[in-house]
Structure 1
């Protein structure tokens, strides 16, 4: 199943392209009882100064179950990222991202999470 088809930002992205993105970045996945991928988040980073959170998606049939929160918690608590700032571009789910330290910096479209420490 290609979860990207459920997004507004990349419904045309092929499964092959999604797999390439996941292989060339840090990916976080959520799976159901049958090991089907039901959500994922991709992080692109230099591991020093910044990381970019992209392609956070939860399958429509699994939304409202805390999967997005679980993915975000895993990302922001990953020790490789906690000392770097983070960038996210999105037009929705701002409430979720704010819970994990992101805040608006550009008219509700770009959010930045400052470095810890």
Structure 2
């Protein structure tokens, strides 16, 4: 079995990505058109096992100051095999993302994964603000 991680958006299976995201706690209700738009405006990473997509993530970034890691997933059948770590390592090692000063992400349940790559609670969470349009 061979794993390939690619930033080639042409290889991404939009239906697969949309199907997973609509079942997730963070993207339930996102339409396929919205998924396409997010992909168009992000640096995307697909992970493939024997040429079949098993996971995805995307980075919203200006390539210098800020990067926001989003929509990280490995399908349920392949979780626990270290593929999320491989995907994260590939993102963190990508040459175009090395100058970024601040990385951010939101997670409800994957803190241990992200801590392995230097993510932690913010020193000054009161500095962070947000606006949620529902």
Q: What's the offset of the Cα at 1:9?
A: 0.8
* Alignment match, 1:21: 38
User: What secondary structure is seen at the aligned counterpart in 2 of 1:43?
Assistant: strand
SS in 1 for 2:96: coil
Indicate the structure (1 or 2) with the bigger Cα radius of gyration: 2
Instruction: Report whether the alignment pairs 1:58 with 2:46.
Output: no
Structure 1 length normalisation: TM-score?
0.82
TM-score (norm: length of structure 2): 0.72
Is 1:9 the equivalent of 2:26?
yes
- Per-residue CA deviations over 1:36-77 (Å, capped at 9, x if unaligned) read 321011100011111110110111111111111111001111
Counting strand residues as a fraction of each chain, which structure ranks higher? Answer: 1
**Distance apart, 1:19 and its partner CA:** 2.4
- For residues 13-54 of structure 1, what are the alpha-carbon distances to aligned partners after superposition, in whole Å with 9 as ceiling and x for unaligned? 123322221121100111122x33210111000111111101
Q: Which runs of 5+ in 2 are unaligned?
A: 1-15, 126-134
Quote the residue 1:44 is aligned against. Answer: 60
RMSD (Å) for aligned C-alpha atoms: 1.6
Looking at structure 1, the residues matched to 56 and 96 of structure 2 have their Cα atoms a distance apart, in angstroms, of: 18
Question: Which ranges in structure 1 are unaligned for 5 or more consecutive residues?
Answer: 107-117
- Rounded to whole Å, the distance in 2 between the matches of 1:67 and 1:6 is 20
